[in-house]
Amino acid sequence: MVFIAHIIIYSINKNEIKQDVYSVFENIVAIKATSYEEAVAAAEAEGKDSEGDDSNSLIVDGQPAKWVFAGVRKIIECRKIYDVKIDNMTNIIEISYNEYILKSLDKIYELAKGGQVDLTYYM
């Protein structure tokens, strides 16, 4: 089976300077799994693997930053896969992403839970 997961990560500055806004990515990935529970575990592992500072090279708004995993917003099973050989598919493939600007950590975690929040769509 193939599932589509929406993984929420955000950047936070490493210098602990107060941020008025946060850059948030919703990474959309296809996951090959035998069950919904396995897909959830794989999506969470992928989100946690996204954390870090890109070997100290991540700079956001002129400040050293790091990525933080906020959660998996949703997972859906793909019931119709056209022209894809599932047997040859790797376990996780990034297929798209969205970038948002949010004004608080509370709103980021509400988004990650699937809640409704005010945000600015960046790209």
**Model confidence over 34-81: pLDDT tens digits?**
999 999 999 999 999 999 988 888 888 888 999 999 999 999 998 766
Domain segments of the chain as ranges:
2-121
- Supply the pLDDT for residue 112: 95
Q: Tell me if 25 sits within 8 A of 58, measured CB to CB.
A: no
DSSP string, 36-78: HHHHHHHHHHHHHHT-B-TTTT-EETTEEEEEEEEEEEEEEEE
- Supply the pLDDT for residue 114: 93
Mean pLDDT score of the chain: 89
Q: Which two tokens stand for residue 59?
A: 């700079």
- Supply the pLDDT for residue 86: 60
pTM of the model: 0.87
